[in-house]
């Protein structure tokens, strides 16, 4: 089967939904092999995520309710990149809002697409170290129900392997951070 380096031809694009956090569109495409079809896509501005590590080597996570899966998930703090905001600014704001910590040392771990089969959302992952616990309680958004959880890297890895930690962006970022922290 030949590989076609040229991109598909966009025949038509239609916005189906415009939301606060994402848009949803359908694109009619003609592929290089001549076939045509419709592709649905969630258009998202991207997100930023931190793997916060305390001085004693514990990971700072959050457990929060996620409506789409009707349950509380164990995740690293993360948030949507706002217009005219860099991922670095986003995650510095989110880590304080969600956990009550501020990091004084940051390192970019990398970036990855969350679900490229139907979304263009990209996640920018950072390692957050030299944490300071702020005197103020976390300032959660009105639609958030978040609990801060401290775990050893070994406990989180076991939770991932047991199927107790199932958030894809957090699993990916955890394994990216391992290369920098040797845990």
- Considering the four listed CATH numbers 2.40.10.340, 3.90.79.10, 1.10.3720.10, 3.30.720.110, the one that applies to the domain covering 47-181 is 3.90.79.10
CA distances from 100 to 55, 76, 94, 134, 145 (A): 15, 13, 9, 6, 14
In sequence order, the 6+-apart residues with CB closer than 8 A to the CB of 18 are none
CA distance 178 to 153: 9
Q: How far from 37 is each of 9, 31, 33, 64, 66, CA to CA, in Å?
A: 11, 8, 12, 38, 32
Work out the average pLDDT over 91-119: 95
| pLDDT for the residue 181 | 86
Order of strands across the sheet that contains 122-133: 78-80, 47-52, 122-133, 101-113
By DSSP bridging, strand 23-30 and strand 36-43 are: antiparallel
At 141-155, the pLDDT tens digits run 666 688 999 999 999
Contact 59, 156 (CB under 8 A): yes
* All structural domains of the chain with their residue ranges: 9-43, 47-181
Specify the 3-state DSSP secondary structure of 129: strand
Residue 95 and residue 77 in contact, taking contact as beta carbons nearer than 8 Å:
yes
- Model confidence pLDDT, tens digit, residues 60-75: 999 999 999 999 999 9
pLDDT in tens, 116-174: 999 999 999 999 999 999 987 666 666 668 899 999 999 999 999 999 999 999 999 99
* Each residue's pLDDT tens digit, 21-49: 899 999 999 999 999 999 999 999 999 99
């Amino acid at each position: 089967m030949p590989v076609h380096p040229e991109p598909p031809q966009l025949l038509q694009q239609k916005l189906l939904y415009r939301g606060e956090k994402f848009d949803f569109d359908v694109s009619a495409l003609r592929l290089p092999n001549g076939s045509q079809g419709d592709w649905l896509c969630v258009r998202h501005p991207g997100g930023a995520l931190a793997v916060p590590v305390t001085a004693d080597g514990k990971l700072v996570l959050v457990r929060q309710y996620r409506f789409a899966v009707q349950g509380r998930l164990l995740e690293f703090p993360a948030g949507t990149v706002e217009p005219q905001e860099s991922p670095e600014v986003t995650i510095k704001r989110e880590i304080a809002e969600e956990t009550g910590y501020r990091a004084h040392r940051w390192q970019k771990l990398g970036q990855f697409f969350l679900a490229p089969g139907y979304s263009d959302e990209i996640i920018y992952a950072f390692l957050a170290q030299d944490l300071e616990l702020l005197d103020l309680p976390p300032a959660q958004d009105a639609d958030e129900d978040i609990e801060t959880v401290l775990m050893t890297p070994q406990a989180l890895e076991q939770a991932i392997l047991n199927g107790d930690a199932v958030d894809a962006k957090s699993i990916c970022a955890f394994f990216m951070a391992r290369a920098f922290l040797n845990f």
